[in-house]
Amino acid sequence: MENRNKYLLLARRAREEDNSEDAKRYYDMVRTEDPDNAEAKFFYSYYRLMDGTVGEAGSKYDAMCKGVNTTISLILESDASDEEKKALVLAILAHLEKARIAIVNNAPGSASVNIQEIKKSIFAKYIEAFGEDNDIMFEVYRFKKDFESRSMKEKYEFGDEIESKFASVPQIMALALDLWKKCVAEQQTYYNTREAIECKGMAEKYAEKIKKYDPTYVMPKKAGCISFG
Amino acid sequence: MRINTRKKFEKEIDFFSDEFQQEQKRLETYIKQRPLPRPKTTKSVVITWVLIYLLVAFLLAATVIYLFKITKIQWLCYLVSYIVCALFFSKTICIKAIECYQHYAKEETRRKCVCVPSCSEYSIAVLKKYHIFKALRKIRIRLLNTCGGYGYVHDEP
């Protein structure tokens, strides 16, 4: 038990320092000491996936994702402090996202698991256990921003929704700003399309809004050789 | 992807389709890094060609007036001569003027173009391929309708 705690501490430190080699080694040691340790199971499979070849990435990713729900349940049921549990769940969410990006960039189409459903279930479990705190709401809104497809107008309105609830939380507000910036840039590039015409005048309005939060922001000019504005 | 820009909205753009997004990314990457040719055509070359045109037109009119001993409607001879010479020299002068733009224009200005090939390259190609009126019409459509408003467009002449 003493060894397990020592290795777990070292593994967490290595993970926080982005030292994947040491983190993998220490999590493996934790697994040897305590084969049922949920944290070690997840992070070991994560580092195994990141170290592995492209050919087997899809199957490793699927295996890792399938075990996540159990891992989260075990973490929430453990006797660790609430702060520790929260940090661990958020770390798992962050690493799931890193793994997803790695798969999309290096082995697209190789994974079959539905990551969206898994993430939704993690959010639900976290909110049920700890309520809607800013950390999880940031993850929830980031998920909604990245995965739910919207028209240009809906994207502006989604940003408004974030602003109405979390204007005083810079971390979450950054999501709305990012979304608005992307929309304004999109509208200035595709201004002759039906979607952009439906949002006429919104680019200027939202550019002003962005400037309130980010005074250094400069609205992009309309694309094209002769754009008349 | 080709977009019919003359009939607006005839083709709806599906922003969420992977094909569209990938094509846009590919074109954007190319456009932001494409080499910008700088021809050696300077202002003096364009002025020389304009002067040649004026001189040739004047000499042609003067020759006609001298040969046919025209005294009453000399102004008409000059007018016809300048129009005929304009048709003859216009393509060359337009091409030289565009090359002059390519020589002097700032990189920032030239990178505003969102089409492949760029509007100036397209204009030169069109002027070489078609007669002057058709070329000018195509250039107008390219500048006012195609370039800008529909994202990054691949539009060969």
Pick B147's closest partner by Cβ from A195, A221, A224.
A224
Q: Given CB atoms, is A104 within the 8 Å cutoff of chain B?
A: no
Mean of pLDDT over chain A: 87
* Residue B113 burial (CB count, 10 A): 25
Mean of pLDDT over chain B: 87
Please answer whether residues B127 and B133 qualify as being in contact, where contact means their C-beta atoms are separated by less than 8 angstroms. no
- Looking at the fold, whether B152 and B95 belong to one and the same domain comes out as no
- CA distances (Å), origin A10, targets A6, A15, A18, B78: 6, 9, 12, 94
Q: Is residue B88 part of a domain?
A: yes
Q: Is residue B11 part of a domain?
A: no
Per-residue model confidence (pLDDT) at position B53: 94
**Mean of the pLDDT values across residues A87-97?**
90
* CA-atom Rg of chain A in angstroms: 21
Q: Given CB atoms, is B16 within the 8 Å cutoff of chain A?
A: yes
Q: Which amino acid is residue A161, in one-letter code?
A: E
Q: Given CB atoms, is B147 within the 8 Å cutoff of chain A?
A: yes
The domain boundary, picked from B60, B84, B104, lies at B104
Structure tokens at A98: 């890193």
**Residue A55 pLDDT level (bands cut at 50, 70, 90):** confident
Per-residue model confidence (pLDDT) at position B11: 52
Contact A225 B149 (CB under 8 A): no
Residues 6 or more apart whose CB falls under 8 angstroms from that of A133 comprise A86
- Looking at the fold, whether B96 and B110 belong to one and the same domain comes out as no
- Looking at the fold, whether B99 and B50 belong to one and the same domain comes out as yes
- Looking at the fold, whether B98 and B41 belong to one and the same domain comes out as yes
The domain boundary, picked from B104, B122, B139, lies at B104
Its domain, for residue B128, covers 106-157
For residue A96, pLDDT beyond 70: yes
Please answer whether residues B32 and A223 qualify as being in contact, where contact means their C-beta atoms are separated by less than 8 angstroms. no
Please answer whether residues A222 and B109 qualify as being in contact, where contact means their C-beta atoms are separated by less than 8 angstroms. no
β-partners of residue B115 are: B153
Give the count of domains, chain B.
2
Per-residue model confidence (pLDDT) at position A38: 86
- Looking at the fold, whether B110 and B89 belong to one and the same domain comes out as no
pLDDT in tens, A178-190: 999 999 998 998 8
- Looking at the fold, whether B93 and B62 belong to one and the same domain comes out as yes
For residue A23, pLDDT beyond 60: yes
Cis peptide before A108 (omega within 30 of 0): no
Q: Which of residues 73-132 of B touch A (CB under 8 A)?
A: 112-114, 119
Q: Is residue B119 part of a domain?
A: yes
Pick A193's closest partner by Cβ from B13, B112, B143.
B13
Contact A227 B148 (CB under 8 A): yes
Per-residue model confidence (pLDDT) at position B133: 92
For residue B7, pLDDT beyond 50: no
Pick A192's closest partner by Cβ from B12, B113, B149.
B149
Write down the pTM of the prediction. Answer: 0.75
- Looking at the fold, whether B87 and B114 belong to one and the same domain comes out as no
- Looking at the fold, whether B118 and B100 belong to one and the same domain comes out as no
Using CA atoms, how far apart are residues A203 and A92, in angstroms rounded to an integer? 37
String of DSSP letters for A167-205: TT-HHHHHHHHHHHHHHHHHHHHSTTSHHHHHTTTHHHH
Contact B149 A223 (CB under 8 A): yes
Q: Is residue B3 part of a domain?
A: no
**Mean of the pLDDT values across residues A74-79?**
87
pLDDT in tens, B11-34: 556 666 778 888 888 999 999 899
Phi, psi of A55 (to 5 degrees): -60, -40
ipTM of the complex: 0.72
- Looking at the fold, whether B51 and B85 belong to one and the same domain comes out as yes
Structure tokens at A152: 């240009």
Please answer whether residues B149 and A190 qualify as being in contact, where contact means their C-beta atoms are separated by less than 8 angstroms. yes
Per-residue model confidence (pLDDT) at position A227: 61
Residues from chain A that touch B5, judged by Cβ atoms under 8 A, are 192
Using CA atoms, how far apart are residues A49 and A57, in angstroms rounded to an integer? 6
Q: Determine which of A85-94, A200-209, B17-26, B30-39 has the lowest per-residue pLDDT on average.
A: B17-26
Q: Is residue B78 part of a domain?
A: yes
**Mean of the pLDDT values across residues B54-58?**
94
For residue B5, pLDDT beyond 80: no
Pick B114's closest partner by Cβ from A149, A151, A223.
A223
Q: How many residues does chain B have?
A: 157
In chain A, the percentage of residues whose pLDDT exceeds 90 is 18
Which among A185, A137, A127 is positioned nearest to A165, based on CA atoms? A137
Using CA atoms, how far apart are residues B130 and B91, in angstroms rounded to an integer? 10
Dihedral sign for Cα atoms in the order A60, A66, A70, A72: positive
For residue A67, pLDDT beyond 80: yes
Using CA atoms, how far apart are residues B82 and B75, in angstroms rounded to an integer? 11
Using CA atoms, how far apart are residues A225 and B120, in angstroms rounded to an integer? 10
Q: Is residue B14 part of a domain?
A: no
Furthest CA-CA distance within chain A? 71
- Looking at the fold, whether B80 and B123 belong to one and the same domain comes out as no
Q: Is residue B27 part of a domain?
A: no
- CA distances (Å), origin A139, targets A88, A151, B131: 14, 22, 60
- Looking at the fold, whether B110 and B66 belong to one and the same domain comes out as no
Per-residue model confidence (pLDDT) at position B137: 94
Please answer whether residues B91 and B136 qualify as being in contact, where contact means their C-beta atoms are separated by less than 8 angstroms. no
The domain boundary, picked from B69, B88, B104, lies at B104
Q: Is residue B16 part of a domain?
A: no
Per-residue model confidence (pLDDT) at position A210: 93
- Looking at the fold, whether B58 and B87 belong to one and the same domain comes out as yes
pLDDT in tens, B73-86: 889 999 999 999 99
Buried b (16+ CB within 10 A) or exposed e, A59-71: ebbbebbeebeeb
